[in-house]
Protein backbone atom coordinates (compact mmCIF):
# COMPACT_ATOMS: atom_id res chain seq x y z
CA UNK A 1 0.00 0.00 0.00
CA UNK A 2 1.03 3.63 -0.37
CA UNK A 3 1.59 4.33 3.33
CA UNK A 4 3.99 1.68 4.56
CA UNK A 5 5.78 1.50 7.88
CA UNK A 6 9.31 2.71 7.06
CA UNK A 7 11.88 -0.03 7.46
CA UNK A 8 14.91 1.72 5.92
CA UNK A 9 16.21 5.23 6.49
CA UNK A 10 19.32 5.16 4.28
CA UNK A 11 19.63 8.18 2.05
CA UNK A 12 17.68 10.49 4.37
CA UNK A 13 19.24 13.48 6.05
CA UNK A 14 19.18 13.81 9.85
CA UNK A 15 15.95 15.84 9.92
CA UNK A 16 14.10 13.34 7.69
CA UNK A 17 14.96 10.12 9.50
CA UNK A 18 12.09 8.39 11.25
CA UNK A 19 11.11 4.91 12.28
CA UNK A 20 7.49 5.84 12.99
CA UNK A 21 4.53 4.96 10.78
CA UNK A 22 4.15 7.66 8.15
CA UNK A 23 0.98 8.61 6.28
CA UNK A 24 1.65 10.63 3.15
CA UNK A 25 -1.93 11.90 3.21
CA UNK A 26 -1.64 13.07 6.80
CA UNK A 27 1.69 14.74 6.06
CA UNK A 28 0.01 16.77 3.31
CA UNK A 29 -2.60 18.06 5.77
CA UNK A 30 -0.31 18.92 8.68
CA UNK A 31 -0.80 22.55 9.76
CA UNK A 32 -3.10 23.32 6.81
CA UNK A 33 -6.32 24.79 8.26
CA UNK A 34 -9.69 24.14 6.66
CA UNK A 35 -11.99 27.12 7.17
CA UNK A 36 -15.25 26.33 8.96
CA UNK A 37 -18.12 28.81 9.31
CA UNK A 38 -17.06 32.47 9.39
CA UNK A 39 -14.11 32.46 11.82
CA UNK A 40 -13.54 28.78 12.62
CA UNK A 41 -11.16 26.15 11.31
CA UNK A 42 -9.89 22.60 11.71
CA UNK A 43 -6.25 21.71 11.19
CA UNK A 44 -4.27 18.54 11.79
CA UNK A 45 -1.30 19.20 14.07
CA UNK A 46 -0.05 15.66 14.70
CA UNK A 47 -0.90 12.00 14.16
CA UNK A 48 0.25 8.50 15.09
CA UNK A 49 -0.09 5.60 12.69
CA UNK A 50 -1.58 4.89 9.26
CA UNK A 51 -3.51 2.13 7.49
CA UNK A 52 -0.61 -0.27 7.90
CA UNK A 53 -0.48 0.41 11.63
CA UNK A 54 -4.05 -0.93 11.86
CA UNK A 55 -2.98 -4.14 10.11
CA UNK A 56 0.11 -4.43 12.30
CA UNK A 57 -1.98 -4.03 15.47
CA UNK A 58 -4.47 -6.63 14.29
CA UNK A 59 -1.72 -9.15 13.68
CA UNK A 60 0.34 -8.07 16.71
CA UNK A 61 3.46 -8.18 14.57
CA UNK A 62 6.60 -6.14 14.26
CA UNK A 63 6.64 -6.28 10.48
CA UNK A 64 5.08 -4.05 7.91
CA UNK A 65 1.89 -6.02 7.37
CA UNK A 66 1.73 -8.16 4.25
CA UNK A 67 3.44 -7.74 0.91
CA UNK A 68 0.12 -7.30 -0.89
CA UNK A 69 -2.03 -4.20 -0.58
CA UNK A 70 -5.12 -6.30 -1.31
CA UNK A 71 -4.53 -8.45 1.76
CA UNK A 72 -4.12 -5.42 4.03
CA UNK A 73 -7.23 -3.85 2.51
CA UNK A 74 -9.20 -7.05 2.98
CA UNK A 75 -8.21 -7.31 6.64
CA UNK A 76 -9.09 -3.68 7.40
CA UNK A 77 -12.48 -4.07 5.73
CA UNK A 78 -13.11 -7.30 7.63
CA UNK A 79 -12.29 -5.59 10.92
CA UNK A 80 -14.61 -2.65 10.15
CA UNK A 81 -17.40 -4.89 8.85
CA UNK A 82 -17.41 -7.03 11.96
CA UNK A 83 -16.81 -4.12 14.36
CA UNK A 84 -13.45 -5.34 15.61
CA UNK A 85 -12.51 -1.86 16.72
CA UNK A 86 -9.37 -2.23 18.85
CA UNK A 87 -6.85 -2.08 15.95
CA UNK A 88 -8.36 1.26 14.87
CA UNK A 89 -7.77 2.61 18.37
CA UNK A 90 -4.03 2.28 17.75
CA UNK A 91 -4.14 5.19 15.29
CA UNK A 92 -4.53 8.70 16.71
CA UNK A 93 -5.02 12.19 15.29
CA UNK A 94 -4.61 15.54 17.01
CA UNK A 95 -6.51 18.56 15.71
CA UNK A 96 -6.45 22.25 16.49
CA UNK A 97 -10.05 23.46 16.22
CA UNK A 98 -11.72 26.84 16.51
CA UNK A 99 -15.49 26.87 16.86
CA UNK A 100 -18.39 28.78 18.44
CA UNK A 101 -18.87 27.97 22.12
CA UNK A 102 -22.29 26.39 21.51
CA UNK A 103 -20.70 24.01 19.00
CA UNK A 104 -17.96 23.17 21.50
CA UNK A 105 -20.60 22.33 24.12
CA UNK A 106 -22.14 19.78 21.72
CA UNK A 107 -18.74 18.51 20.69
CA UNK A 108 -17.49 17.91 24.24
CA UNK A 109 -20.26 15.35 24.78
CA UNK A 110 -17.99 12.94 22.89
CA UNK A 111 -16.00 12.00 25.96
CA UNK A 112 -13.53 9.72 24.18
CA UNK A 113 -10.96 12.41 23.30
CA UNK A 114 -8.23 14.30 25.12
CA UNK A 115 -9.09 18.00 25.12
CA UNK A 116 -7.25 21.14 26.12
CA UNK A 117 -9.34 24.29 25.60
CA UNK A 118 -8.25 27.92 25.33
CA UNK A 119 -8.59 29.46 28.78
CA UNK A 120 -10.53 32.72 29.09
CA UNK A 121 -9.46 32.75 32.77
CA UNK A 122 -5.92 33.32 31.58
CA UNK A 123 -6.28 35.02 28.18
CA UNK A 124 -8.60 37.60 26.61
CA UNK A 125 -11.04 36.32 24.01
CA UNK A 126 -11.05 37.91 20.56
CA UNK A 127 -13.99 39.90 19.24
CA UNK A 128 -15.08 37.03 17.03
CA UNK A 129 -18.62 35.71 17.06
CA UNK A 130 -20.57 33.45 14.73
CA UNK A 131 -23.02 35.09 12.34
CA UNK A 132 -25.02 32.48 10.38
CA UNK A 133 -25.79 32.83 6.72
CA UNK A 134 -29.45 33.65 6.06
CA UNK A 135 -29.91 30.22 4.47
CA UNK A 136 -29.07 28.59 7.80
CA UNK A 137 -31.67 30.49 9.84
CA UNK A 138 -34.62 28.15 10.09
CA UNK A 139 -37.77 27.83 12.15
CA UNK A 140 -38.12 25.34 15.01
CA UNK A 141 -39.29 21.88 13.94
CA UNK A 142 -42.67 20.99 15.38
CA UNK A 143 -41.95 17.25 15.30
CA UNK A 144 -38.33 17.25 16.50
CA UNK A 145 -37.30 19.43 19.43
CA UNK A 146 -33.68 19.33 18.26
CA UNK A 147 -34.40 20.09 14.62
CA UNK A 148 -35.08 22.86 12.12
CA UNK A 149 -37.72 23.21 9.46
CA UNK A 150 -38.22 25.83 6.75
CA UNK A 151 -35.76 28.69 6.31
CA UNK A 152 -36.98 31.97 7.78
CA UNK A 153 -38.47 34.55 5.39
CA UNK A 154 -35.84 37.12 4.30
CA UNK A 155 -37.32 39.93 6.41
CA UNK A 156 -37.36 37.81 9.59
CA UNK A 157 -33.85 36.50 8.90
CA UNK A 158 -32.55 40.04 8.45
CA UNK A 159 -33.99 41.09 11.80
CA UNK A 160 -32.53 38.04 13.56
CA UNK A 161 -29.09 38.81 12.15
CA UNK A 162 -29.39 42.47 13.13
CA UNK A 163 -30.25 41.63 16.73
CA UNK A 164 -27.62 38.91 16.90
CA UNK A 165 -24.89 41.25 15.73
CA UNK A 166 -26.10 44.02 18.04
CA UNK A 167 -26.27 41.77 21.10
CA UNK A 168 -22.90 40.14 20.39
CA UNK A 169 -21.14 43.47 19.84
CA UNK A 170 -22.67 45.02 22.95
CA UNK A 171 -21.67 42.01 25.04
CA UNK A 172 -18.05 42.36 23.91
CA UNK A 173 -18.09 46.10 24.61
CA UNK A 174 -19.15 45.29 28.18
CA UNK A 175 -16.54 42.53 28.37
CA UNK A 176 -13.85 45.08 27.52
CA UNK A 177 -15.31 47.48 30.08
CA UNK A 178 -15.15 44.78 32.77
CA UNK A 179 -11.55 43.91 31.85
CA UNK A 180 -10.45 47.56 31.84
CA UNK A 181 -7.20 46.31 30.33
CA UNK A 182 -5.09 48.17 27.77
CA UNK A 183 -3.60 44.91 26.53
CA UNK A 184 -0.41 45.42 28.49
CA UNK A 185 -1.84 44.58 31.88
CA UNK A 186 -2.58 48.19 32.81
CA UNK A 187 -6.03 49.71 33.45
CA UNK A 188 -7.55 51.82 30.69
CA UNK A 189 -9.37 53.81 33.35
CA UNK A 190 -7.16 54.20 36.40
CA UNK A 191 -10.19 55.09 38.51
CA UNK A 192 -11.74 51.65 38.07
CA UNK A 193 -10.65 48.16 39.04
CA UNK A 194 -9.80 45.47 36.49
CA UNK A 195 -12.39 42.71 36.91
CA UNK A 196 -10.83 39.25 36.99
CA UNK A 197 -10.84 37.62 33.56
CA UNK A 198 -12.59 34.54 34.91
CA UNK A 199 -15.52 36.81 35.86
CA UNK A 200 -15.40 39.27 32.97
CA UNK A 201 -16.11 36.50 30.45
CA UNK A 202 -19.44 35.49 31.96
CA UNK A 203 -21.58 37.89 29.91
CA UNK A 204 -20.32 36.68 26.52
CA UNK A 205 -22.90 34.71 24.49
CA UNK A 206 -22.28 31.20 23.21
CA UNK A 207 -21.81 32.32 19.61
CA UNK A 208 -18.36 33.63 20.58
CA UNK A 209 -15.42 31.50 19.43
CA UNK A 210 -13.24 29.23 21.51
CA UNK A 211 -10.35 26.96 20.53
CA UNK A 212 -8.94 23.66 21.63
CA UNK A 213 -6.55 20.84 20.86
CA UNK A 214 -8.52 17.64 20.37
CA UNK A 215 -6.74 14.25 20.25
CA UNK A 216 -8.69 11.09 19.53
CA UNK A 217 -8.13 7.56 18.27
CA UNK A 218 -9.41 6.58 14.83
CA UNK A 219 -12.20 4.31 16.05
CA UNK A 220 -13.78 6.96 18.24
CA UNK A 221 -13.18 9.62 15.59
CA UNK A 222 -15.17 7.54 13.13
CA UNK A 223 -17.97 7.24 15.67
CA UNK A 224 -17.92 11.03 16.03
CA UNK A 225 -18.00 11.48 12.25
CA UNK A 226 -20.86 9.01 11.79
CA UNK A 227 -23.00 10.99 14.25
CA UNK A 228 -21.96 14.51 13.30
CA UNK A 229 -21.89 14.09 9.51
CA UNK A 230 -25.42 12.71 9.58
CA UNK A 231 -28.06 14.86 7.89
CA UNK A 232 -29.90 15.11 11.22
CA UNK A 233 -26.91 16.64 13.00
CA UNK A 234 -26.86 20.40 13.56
CA UNK A 235 -25.45 22.18 10.53
CA UNK A 236 -22.78 24.09 12.44
CA UNK A 237 -21.08 21.01 13.92
CA UNK A 238 -21.56 19.11 10.66
CA UNK A 239 -19.28 21.64 8.95
CA UNK A 240 -16.44 20.72 11.32
CA UNK A 241 -17.07 16.99 10.98
CA UNK A 242 -16.98 17.28 7.18
CA UNK A 243 -13.64 19.10 7.40
CA UNK A 244 -12.15 16.37 9.60
CA UNK A 245 -13.47 13.70 7.24
CA UNK A 246 -11.55 15.31 4.35
CA UNK A 247 -8.35 14.92 6.33
CA UNK A 248 -9.01 11.34 7.50
CA UNK A 249 -9.98 10.26 3.99
CA UNK A 250 -6.48 11.12 2.77
CA UNK A 251 -4.61 10.19 5.93
CA UNK A 252 -6.05 6.65 6.25
CA UNK A 253 -7.66 5.99 2.84
CA UNK A 254 -8.32 2.26 3.22
CA UNK A 255 -9.77 2.59 6.72
CA UNK A 256 -11.89 5.56 5.67
CA UNK A 257 -13.26 3.74 2.61
CA UNK A 258 -14.30 0.84 4.87
CA UNK A 259 -15.90 3.33 7.27
CA UNK A 260 -17.89 4.85 4.40
CA UNK A 261 -19.06 1.48 3.10
CA UNK A 262 -19.95 -0.23 6.36
CA UNK A 263 -20.86 2.60 8.71
CA UNK A 264 -21.42 5.99 7.13
CA UNK A 265 -23.37 4.72 4.12
CA UNK A 266 -24.45 1.45 5.69
CA UNK A 267 -27.76 0.62 7.32
CA UNK A 268 -28.74 -1.09 10.56
CA UNK A 269 -31.93 -3.11 10.73
CA UNK A 270 -33.48 -3.95 14.09
CA UNK A 271 -34.89 -7.38 14.86
CA UNK A 272 -38.53 -6.28 14.33
CA UNK A 273 -37.59 -4.55 11.06
CA UNK A 274 -36.01 -7.76 9.74
CA UNK A 275 -39.22 -9.61 10.63
CA UNK A 276 -41.31 -7.07 8.70
CA UNK A 277 -39.12 -7.53 5.64
CA UNK A 278 -39.19 -11.34 5.89
CA UNK A 279 -42.93 -11.70 6.43
CA UNK A 280 -44.30 -9.40 3.75
CA UNK A 281 -44.49 -9.27 -0.03
CA UNK A 282 -42.61 -6.48 -1.76
CA UNK A 283 -42.87 -3.90 -3.15
CA UNK A 284 -45.55 -2.40 -0.93
CA UNK A 285 -47.27 0.96 -1.02
CA UNK A 286 -46.17 3.46 1.59
CA UNK A 287 -49.71 3.67 2.99
CA UNK A 288 -49.88 -0.10 3.50
CA UNK A 289 -46.38 -0.22 4.96
CA UNK A 290 -47.37 2.51 7.41
CA UNK A 291 -50.15 0.27 8.80
CA UNK A 292 -48.03 -2.88 8.82
CA UNK A 293 -45.03 -1.22 10.47
CA UNK A 294 -47.12 0.56 13.11
CA UNK A 295 -48.73 -2.72 14.17
CA UNK A 296 -45.39 -4.52 14.39
CA UNK A 297 -43.46 -1.66 15.99
CA UNK A 298 -45.75 -1.10 18.98
CA UNK A 299 -47.46 1.89 17.32
CA UNK A 300 -44.23 3.86 17.63
CA UNK A 301 -44.63 6.61 15.03
CA UNK A 302 -41.02 7.76 15.03
CA UNK A 303 -39.65 4.22 14.68
CA UNK A 304 -42.16 3.56 11.91
CA UNK A 305 -41.09 6.70 10.04
CA UNK A 306 -37.45 5.66 10.36
CA UNK A 307 -38.22 2.20 8.96
CA UNK A 308 -40.18 3.66 6.04
CA UNK A 309 -37.13 5.77 5.21
CA UNK A 310 -34.98 2.63 5.21
CA UNK A 311 -37.51 0.82 3.02
CA UNK A 312 -37.39 3.67 0.53
CA UNK A 313 -33.60 3.48 0.39
CA UNK A 314 -33.83 -0.28 -0.22
CA UNK A 315 -36.38 0.19 -3.03
CA UNK A 316 -39.08 -1.77 -1.21
CA UNK A 317 -41.83 0.82 -1.61
CA UNK A 318 -43.96 0.64 -4.73
CA UNK A 319 -43.72 3.61 -7.05
CA UNK A 320 -46.95 5.52 -7.62
Co-location of 29 and 114 in the same domain: yes
> 151, 249 in Cβ contact below 8 A?
no
Identify whether 128 is part of a domain: no
> Which of 239, 264, 289 is the last residue in one of the domains?
264
Co-location of 94 and 157 in the same domain: no
CATH number of the domain bearing residue 45: 3.30.1360.170
Residue 243 vs residue 144, higher pLDDT: 243
Identify whether 15 is part of a domain: no
Q: pTM for the complete prediction?
A: 0.88
Residue partners of 19: CB distance under 8 A and separation at least 6: 6, 9
> Which of 203, 218, 251 is the last residue in one of the domains?
203
Range 228-254 average pLDDT: 97
Identify whether 277 is part of a domain: yes
**Catalytic residue numbers?**
228
32 has pLDDT over 80: yes
Co-location of 195 and 232 in the same domain: no
45 has pLDDT over 60: yes
The predicted pLDDT at position 67 comes to 57
Indicate the pLDDT class of residue 6, thresholds 50, 70 and 90.
Answer: very low
pLDDT in tens, 70-117: 789 999 999 999 999 999 999 999 999 999 999 999 999 999 999 999
Co-location of 103 and 39 in the same domain: yes
> 157, 134 in Cβ contact below 8 A?
yes
Co-location of 45 and 149 in the same domain: no
Co-location of 94 and 197 in the same domain: no
Co-location of 98 and 243 in the same domain: yes
Indicate the pLDDT class of residue 319, thresholds 50, 70 and 90.
Answer: confident
Co-location of 50 and 172 in the same domain: no
Co-location of 112 and 260 in the same domain: yes
Co-location of 60 and 105 in the same domain: yes
Q: Which domain holds residue 298?
A: 271-313
Identify whether 74 is part of a domain: yes
pLDDT in tens, 186-205: 999 999 999 999 999 999 99
> Which of 231, 249, 264 is the last residue in one of the domains?
264
The predicted pLDDT at position 16 comes to 64
222 has pLDDT over 90: yes
Identify whether 18 is part of a domain: no
Neighbour-count burial of 200, counting CB atoms closer than 10 A to its CB (0-12 exposed, 13-18 middle, 19+ buried): buried
Backbone angles phi, psi at 37, to 5 degrees: 60, -150
Identify whether 17 is part of a domain: no
212 has pLDDT over 60: yes
Co-location of 88 and 223 in the same domain: yes
The predicted pLDDT at position 140 comes to 86
Indicate the pLDDT class of residue 3, thresholds 50, 70 and 90.
Answer: very low
pLDDT in tens, 286-298: 999 999 999 999 9
Percent of the chain with pLDDT over 70: 92
Identify whether 148 is part of a domain: yes
64 has pLDDT over 80: no
Q: Give me the helix-helix angle, 51-59 and 69-81, nearest 10°.
A: 70
Co-location of 138 and 186 in the same domain: yes
- Domain count along the chain: 3
Identify whether 193 is part of a domain: yes
Q: Which of 86, 81, 80 is nearest to 56 (CA)?
A: 86
Amino acid sequence: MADRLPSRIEGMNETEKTLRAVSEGAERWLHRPIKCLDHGFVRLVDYMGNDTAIVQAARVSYGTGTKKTTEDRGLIRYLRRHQHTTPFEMVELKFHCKMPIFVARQWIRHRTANVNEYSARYSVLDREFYMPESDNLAAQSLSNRQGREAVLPPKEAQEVLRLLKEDSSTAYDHYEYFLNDDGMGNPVDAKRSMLARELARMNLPVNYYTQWYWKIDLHNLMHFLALRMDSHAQYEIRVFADAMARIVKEAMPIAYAAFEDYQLNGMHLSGPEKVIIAKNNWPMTEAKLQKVALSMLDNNKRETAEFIDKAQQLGLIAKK
